[in-house]
Amino acid sequence: MSLILAIESSCDDTSAAVLRDDRMLSNVIASQKVHEQFGGVVPELASRAHQQNILPVVDTALRNAGVDKSQLDAIAFTRGPGLLGSLLVGVSFAKSMAQGLGIPLIEVNHLQAHVLSHFIKTTDDSVVPQFPFMCLLVSGGHTQILLLHDHFDMETLGQTIDDAAGEAIDKAAKIMDLGYPGGPIIDRLAKEGNPDAFQFATPNIAGYDYSFSGIKTSFLYFLRDKLESDPDFIEKNKADLCASIQKCIMSFLLKKFEKAAIKNRVRQVAIAGGVSANSYLRDGIMQLGKKHGWKVFVPTMQFCTDNAAMVGIAAYFKLLRKEFADISMPPYTR
Ligand code: KG4
Ligand code: ZN
């Protein structure tokens, strides 16, 4: 039995979690509101907020888990990819705490952590995926179709050649002046709209790769033309625009993923990353599961966006392999 404290600080969420083996005991997330007024994450402000949040967040995670720091067996941290100033806060904190307690450190890749979040057990009878399974990893910075042969054996079948899916949806929201982050706002407004009101072309990209920059541009030009004849076009059609652009991006993601899953004959599929919170994507993958008889893993909301529990579960599998980090290991941004 091992108790792991995990720390995540790669972008704009400060998070700490405690796991007993693969069982989550606590998961505390402090989101940073300071970026909203700037329409995106401001790196310098993010690292300052991490500095303020990290101690109370770690303290609360330990308290919620009913664990004293003296009982910990290892400390895990997100080493990258992410914003350097943000990562440095979590990495330095983890190193000092591990050094002070005389326990080992475990470094975790943020993207692997998103995928491995499906192995977190929150109850005695939590069901986890079996290998091989395919995962659509969709976040603000990444879009990948992965075939998992083992916890750390992830084969990339396809990925975006330009913008990430989350980036595309956030930019669409920005064009409509909806606020930041745009993904959840578009998701909410889309519920009242008609997804077939407007059509936006998706590009023809070979294999299982994606491209989103063209969709963003065609959305921008479409609105520019409409606004010329009607300056209130966005305001009048907000829900329909949200529903239509959401459908365009999410159905493009699902179409390629479905092709790849059929070709690779997998029976289990999953979605992960911030965009896996999207209701169109969640419904869509469930429907694909029904259609093909696949077992589908959709993360609960607390495991969609950045959280430390996913770092903890990745660390648990590294602990089993005795893969520890050296105190001199620096963070990496990409
Ligand atoms: O994984 P994440 O929290 O951070 C990164 O590692 O990038 O993902 C953040 C992304 C943002 O682009 C955000 O707009 C998107 O996830 N997102 C959503 C939803 N909730 C978050 N996109 C669409 N629908 C949502 N409900
Ligand atoms: Zn993330």
What is the reported pLDDT for 142? Answer: 93
Q: What is the mean pLDDT of the chain?
A: 96
Which residue from 236, 194, 196, 201 is spatially nearest to 215, judged by alpha carbons? Answer: 201
Whether ligand 1 lies within 6 angstroms of the CB of 18 is answered as no
pLDDT tens, position by position, 25-34 = 999 999 888 8
What is the reported pLDDT for 72? Answer: 98
Instruction: Label residue 311 exposed, middle or buried (CB < 10 Å: 0-12, 13-18, 19+).
Output: buried
Residue 211 to residue 215: CA distance in whole angstroms: 8
Whether ligand 1 lies within 6 angstroms of the CB of 275 is answered as yes
What is the reported pLDDT for 42? Answer: 86
Q: How confident is the model at residue 180 (pLDDT cuts 50, 70, 90)?
A: confident
Q: How many CA atoms lie within 13 A of 50 on its CB side?
A: 29
Question: Does the structure show a pLDDT above 90 at 50?
Answer: yes
Residue 272: CB atoms within 10 Å: 27
DSSP-assigned letters across all residues of 276-316: GG-HHHHHHHHHHHHHHT-EEE---HHHHSS-SHHHHHHHH
Q: How confident is the model at residue 154 (pLDDT cuts 50, 70, 90)?
A: very high
Residue 74 to residue 141: CA distance in whole angstroms: 29
What does the pLDDT average to over 124-141? 95
Whether ligand 1 lies within 6 angstroms of the CB of 90 is answered as no
20 alpha carbon to ligand 2 midpoint, in Å?
23
230 alpha carbon to ligand 1 midpoint, in Å?
31
Residue 189 to residue 98: CA distance in whole angstroms: 45
pLDDT tens, position by position, 74-96 = 999 999 999 999 999 999 999 99
What does the pLDDT average to over 266-286? 98
Instruction: List the structure tokens of 144.
Output: 């990948």
Whether ligand 1 lies within 6 angstroms of the CB of 276 is answered as no
Helix (H, G, I), strand (E, B) or coil at 148: strand
Whether ligand 1 lies within 6 angstroms of the CB of 306 is answered as yes
Q: How confident is the model at residue 46 (pLDDT cuts 50, 70, 90)?
A: very high
286 alpha carbon to ligand 1 midpoint, in Å?
19
76 alpha carbon to ligand 1 midpoint, in Å?
23
Q: How many CA atoms lie within 13 A of 111 on its CB side?
A: 24
Whether ligand 1 lies within 6 angstroms of the CB of 170 is answered as yes
pLDDT tens, position by position, 6-39 = 999 999 899 999 999 999 999 999 988 888 888 8
What is the reported pLDDT for 8? Answer: 98
